[in-house]
Structure 1
Amino acid sequence: LAIAHQYVTQGGLDYAREILESALGPRKAKEILEKVQQTIRTTGFNLLENVDPKQIVNFIQKEHPQTIALLLAHMEPKNAAPIVSALPQELQVDVATRIATMESISPETLDQVEEVLVSQIKSLFGGDVSEIGGVKAVAEMLNSVDRGAEKNILGNLERENPELATEIKNLMFVFEDVLLLDDRSMQRVLKEIDTKDLSMALKGASEELQEKFFRNMSSRAAEMIREDMEFMGPIRLKDVEEVQQRIVDVIRRLEEDGEIIISGRGGDEDIVV
């Protein structure tokens, strides 16, 4: 693939096709060239990562929401987050919804977007990708935006599309993210969790995560949980995940009420220690 990329760079697509077809045959040559084109086009989107978010916002906020969603879906969620936060509130919701529900995009559509935008920004905007955006992309984005933008987007989605909002919220904070909680928050969470649920949830957790819980409870309570886990026997993964999700729901509720802090979330600058 690297050699094919070099052929394209040196002599263009036709030159690369001619060499590859003579060496590998038309079918294999076409397959390789498609992968090379995908790499080249996707790199064009990656150039956005080096542009000041404020400049991107000034440029895209006048574009159609679907175009904005397409561009942001091609960016790393952590880089797209400040752009989402800077958009007008009504546009935040529209764009987040479009990214979450985005499906496969054809190369032709991306080429059309590229033609419109390339004249205004000296970067390539294209990419032959089959899967972009989606609920996970929005969840990762919302994990990094400030709390105001998160509440605005989720609040509107809960009214307009409750099922989509629930999907996004379930992916925003997963059970393994308990490691982000400080000790005081952990102790507050433990007050809300049933011992039997915790034993089952930790049955499918990493050793590091188990120790995070044990470290924030008494030695006697930790020993009881360990014994419960030992005598529990095999458990269906589905049951473990359901209990873990219940604990995640408790954590999100406590965070929304301002009773705990999740490290690394947007809006920490407002915290007074």
Structure 2
Amino acid sequence: MSEARRLTGPQKAAAVMLALGEEQAAALFARMHEDEIRDLSAAMAQLGTVPAAVVEGLCREFAEQLGQAGHLVGTYESTERLLMRTLPRERVAQIMEEIRGPAGRTMWDKLGNVNESVLANYLKNEYPQTVAVVLTKVRPEHAARVLSLLPESFAMEVVMRMLRMETVQKEALEGVERTLKAEFMSNLARSQRRDAHEMMAEIFNNLDRQAESRIMSALEERNRDAAERIRSLMFTFEDLQRLDGAGMQALLRAVEKDKLALALKGASEQMRELFMRNMTERAARLLRDDIAALGPVRLRDVDEAQATIVALAKDLAAQGAIELHSGPDEEMVP
């Protein structure tokens, strides 16, 4: 079996594929990606003569490894450790960056799985022609959502280029792919390695008031620094006080009136006044009447209504419609 040990992974796979015969090999090829087919085909073409004993040993090795696999747990860390044994560090870092990014084999598959707000926020700074190419390569429903989030004048430029677009040259398409991979996907993959405190802050934002208070108090006893960090990252209903007048009015246009009345039912008078100052006198009077008409309400329902409005504010901020400042003492550049 010394000859088998000298074979590379692709060469072993090529030998097994040839041993399976055309019909079975064709079925396996049908399940592979284009890059895998190309690499394996190259190994098969250059394999040369492989003694029968070696082929038999490879098939036995494959069957034994498959049969002894037992319980498996795959993680990013275990995958990275495995790759580090066979590939250069730079190549491993590149592969792991791609894995941590959006799902999909091709660049266009991956883009189709990127949140439309995130993609639109990136594309609005690109050339309209580049954006036109991208939107013709992703699913129409995804392209529509992205287009609707772009600034109106810019979106129209993109539409006009899409209407005039003929077949995109292969070189131009590859250039766009390289740019997206270097400037967008790698940054997106890195940004998705989220800080644990940020994830916990989002979870705390979705807890009801009693559960949040109980768990936060317990955390403060165990790890005060972590509790303070999470609290600083949380965005609560009270933090909507940081919105400027234009932002508050944009939020008011988007929020459902019954949700607003319920959210303000359990809010401070200061928060009520904040919303009503940005409404017409008649609308503010009607809102006060709606709040009074609610009567006693459950705290859980108030918390849910407030969480819904906070989530809406975050969505509007992601679309660039409003700006959420990160804290009350945030420094501003004049």
TM-score by length of 2: 0.33
* Larger gyration radius, structure 1 or structure 2: 2
TM-score by length of 1: 0.39
